[in-house]
A and B are shown apart, each in its own frame.
Chain A
């Protein structure tokens, strides 16, 4: 079946602009995660959704970052007033929390965001 998809694959924007990044999880997966991967670093956790609600948003760096998942499927990560330091690859992952004992996270290919 289809894996996790993310659009766009690349996004170039100017400092101060607003961007939206989209994630389509694997159908039926109830959990969805966003991570950010800066150059030369491992992915860093941003936010975790269980269904429609954000169960843990402790990784969002500041209030310019916001994510939604209104119908418990597709999620959008929104960044306001972008800064050059926001440039990174944004990864989305989903998992099926109905499986035990462990819920494997399946990652999308990422969106590479460049803020000029």
Chain B
């Protein structure tokens, strides 16, 4: 079945540092890949997505590229802010007509001023 392996946290960075959170996946077919974010006290929100190989998703300064050859979808940001402190989840869908999501365990990011 489908699975997502995500870099374990917690990750603590200083403001303006470079961020990478690793994500690799196992899937049959042609899934879409996602990063979701959960800010303190809030629900899950879609951060970015990529629907096919070599696509790059981007939003709010975050980027991730769908790498089929390495089955990876690593999240990066060049300069993090305190407001980026949150839990980040890598996820994939089942493809086809069923969009149920399979999530990684999540990575807690704390950015200090």
User: A residues near B, CB below 8 A?
Assistant: 3-4, 31, 33, 35, 40-45, 48, 55-56, 59, 91, 93, 95, 101-105, 107-110
Given contacts A101-B51, A102-B32, A102-B49, contact A45 B100 (CB under 8 A): yes
- Name the interface size band of chain B: 20 to 34
A36 CB to nearest B CB, Å: 11
A44 CB to nearest B CB, Å: 7
**CB distance A55 to B103 under 8 Å?**
no
**CB distance B32 to A110 under 8 Å?**
no
Residue of B nearest to A107 (CB): B44
Task: Pick the contact of A43: B32, B44, B46, B51 (CB < 8 A).
Answer: B44
B92 CB to nearest A CB, Å: 11
User: B residues near A, CB below 8 A?
Assistant: 4, 6, 32, 42-46, 49, 51, 89, 91, 98-106
Give the complex CA separation of A108 and B46 in angstroms.
12
Q: Which one of A33, A42, A102, A103 has the greatest number of beta carbons of chain B within 10 Å?
A: A42
Give the complex CA separation of A93 and B89 in angstroms.
15
Give the complex CA separation of A110 and B42 in angstroms.
9
**CB distance B98 to A55 under 8 Å?**
yes
Chain A interface mostly: loop
Q: Which one of A43, A91, A93 has the greatest number of beta carbons of chain B within 10 Å?
A: A43
A17 CB to nearest B CB, Å: 26
- With a cutoff of 8 Å between Cβ atoms, the chain A residues found around residue B100 in the complex are 33, 45, 48, 56, 59
- With a cutoff of 8 Å between Cβ atoms, the chain A residues found around residue B106 in the complex are 40-42
Give the complex CA separation of A48 and B32 in angstroms.
17
Given contacts A41-B106, A42-B91, A42-B106, contact A104 B46 (CB under 8 A): yes
A-B contact pairs, 23 of them (CB 8 A): A4-B43, A40-B105, A41-B105, A42-B4, A42-B103, A42-B105, A42-B106, A43-B44, A43-B103, A45-B101, A45-B102, A48-B100, A56-B100, A59-B100, A91-B44, A101-B51, A102-B51, A104-B46, A105-B46, A105-B99, A105-B101, A107-B43, A107-B45
